[in-house]
Amino acid sequence: MGPEYGDAVKRKILVTGASGQDGFYLIDLLRKQGCVVHAQSRRQTHPNLHQDGTHWHVGDPTDGDFLDSLIASVMPDEIYNFAAISRPVLSWGLPRETAEVNAFLPQQICELLLKHKPGCRLFQASSSEIFGDSADRVQDEQTLCVPKSPYGTAKLYAHRIIGAYRTQYGLHASTGILFNHESPQRPLSFVSQKIAYAAAAISVGLTHTSETDERGQPILRDGKIALGDLSVRRDFGFAGDYVEAMRLIVQHHTADDYVIGTGEDHSIEEFCNEAFSLVGHKWTDHVSVDPGLLRKVDSHYTHANAAKIRSVLNWRPKIGFRELVSIMVKAQINFIQSNAPLSGEPIIGHRSVEC
């Protein structure tokens, strides 16, 4: 981290969608850096969650009056907008709500900044889903956007509207085009966590789990986990590294768009292999493919070229793929064994969080 953090005047930071994975890591980082943190969530947060001076504001950010009074009362120096319907596959069933939250909320935040505090800096969580099935081998800030779901389309709206407000009004509004970022805080509905959970369950001798997948079936049944397309390749990073990148982006003198990724891609098969190897098992003994879980319209391949953020902001991910899988599997073993939250980490509170 740059030297400006240590002695800087205490900045007031507002994090929207703060009860999700990224909110968890960002708030942690901000607290360490001595910032005053205001966090917004749509529902009452888990009692374990950050009883450390973070100011929680419970309400729906797409409610214009709530958002207006939130920004007017906090008058933040920086806003990180994480509020989103976060699952591309769900967005088919909720296209309108996905647009309201993922596309129009960022625009509304820009409007409120113009009204209350044009000097406030804004970070918008863009997504590699805006690229869709990109023809490019690797994706950078110039890659053609071909979104493949209402989620990607809404995120693309947000991405471009931020750019338009930056140009039109000179707002310090940036976007980070985030590639898959995982952690022990990922909800179980995401494939990475599902695999980590299954490997952990196997390692403690379980063959059946009470936790269910999107089909409503146990994630582990007769010692097997059912997955979709194993050949999908993604650029997987660690969420804790990515929030540091976001913070750097906002501190930079000029607002801009940045790709945030590791520059490596791994298949779902590799993720399985890594996770099950860690607990001394062969993934092929425990993974089956359910054609029902295949997605007709989905990004098949993502691989970030993060050269820009590397050279401009000197950011590099610290956690590699193997370590990431290991952290996630160990956290799940810990969770299953204690059947309770890890000390200080409210995993239960996050499990069901989808949005």
Partner 1 sequence: MKKTALITGVTGQDGAYLAELLLSKGYSVHGIKRRTSLFNTDRIDHLYHDPHDKGYDLTLHHGDLTDSSSLIRIVQEVQPDEIYNLAAQSHVAVSFEEPEYTANSDALGPLRILEAIRILGLEKKTRFYQASTSELYGLVQETPQKETTPFYPRSPYAVAKLYAYWITVNYREAYGLFACNGILFNHESPIRGETFVTRKITRALARIKLGLQEKVYLGNLNALRDWGHARDYVEMQWMMLQQDVPEDYVIATGEQHSVREFLEVAAKEVNIAIRWEGEGVNEKGYDRATGQCIVEVDPRYFRPAEVETLLGDPAKAYRQLGWSPKTSFAELVTEMMREDLKVAQRDELVKQHGFKHFNYNE
Q: Which residues of this chain interact with partner 1, rule CB under 8 A?
A: 92, 95-96, 99, 103-104, 107-108, 111, 144-145, 147-150, 152-154, 156-157, 160-161, 163-164, 167-170, 296-297
146 phi, psi to nearest 5 deg: -135, 75
Determine the Cα–Cα distance for residues 82 and 116; give it in Å rounded to an integer.
20
Tell me how far, at minimum, the Cβ of 289 lies from partner 1, in Å. 22
- Cβ-in-10-Å burial (0-12, 13-18, 19+) of 15 comes to buried
Tell me how far, at minimum, the Cβ of 199 lies from partner 1, in Å. 32
User: 129 catalytic, yes or no?
Assistant: yes
Q: Which of 25, 78, 86, 151 is catalytic?
A: 151
Q: Which of 127, 174, 189, 299 is catalytic?
A: 127
Which residues are paired to 78 by β-bridges? 13, 121
Gyration radius of the chain over CA positions: 20
Determine the Cα–Cα distance for residues 235 and 265; give it in Å rounded to an integer.
4
| Other Cβ atoms closer than 10 A to 44 | 10
- Collapsing DSSP to helix, strand or coil, 309 comes out as helix
Closest CA to 81 of 157, 161, 160, 23: 23
Residue with Cβ nearer partner 1 (103 or 198): 103
243 phi, psi to nearest 5 deg: -70, -25
| Other Cβ atoms closer than 10 A to 320 | 14
Asked if 230 and 289 count as a contact pair (C-beta separation under 8 A), the reply is: yes
Query: Which residue reads 């990431």 in tokens?
Result: 324
Residue with Cβ nearer partner 1 (99 or 232): 99
Tell me how far, at minimum, the Cβ of 295 lies from partner 1, in Å. 10
Tell me how far, at minimum, the Cβ of 231 lies from partner 1, in Å. 20
Torsion of CA 326, 331, 336, 342, to 10 degrees: 170
- Collapsing DSSP to helix, strand or coil, 288 comes out as strand
Residue 78 structure tokens: 């920086």
Tell me how far, at minimum, the Cβ of 163 lies from partner 1, in Å. 7
Residue with Cβ nearer partner 1 (17 or 132): 132
Tell me how far, at minimum, the Cβ of 207 lies from partner 1, in Å. 36
Residue with Cβ nearer partner 1 (253 or 296): 296
Number of residues that this document lists for the chain: 355
Three-class DSSP labels, 216-251:
CCECEECCEEEECCCCCEECCEEHHHHHHHHHHHHH
User: 338 catalytic, yes or no?
Assistant: no
Tell me how far, at minimum, the Cβ of 170 lies from partner 1, in Å. 8
User: 127 catalytic, yes or no?
Assistant: yes
Q: Which of 129, 244, 274, 345 is catalytic?
A: 129
Residue with Cβ nearer partner 1 (86 or 108): 108
Residues with catalytic roles: 127, 129, 151
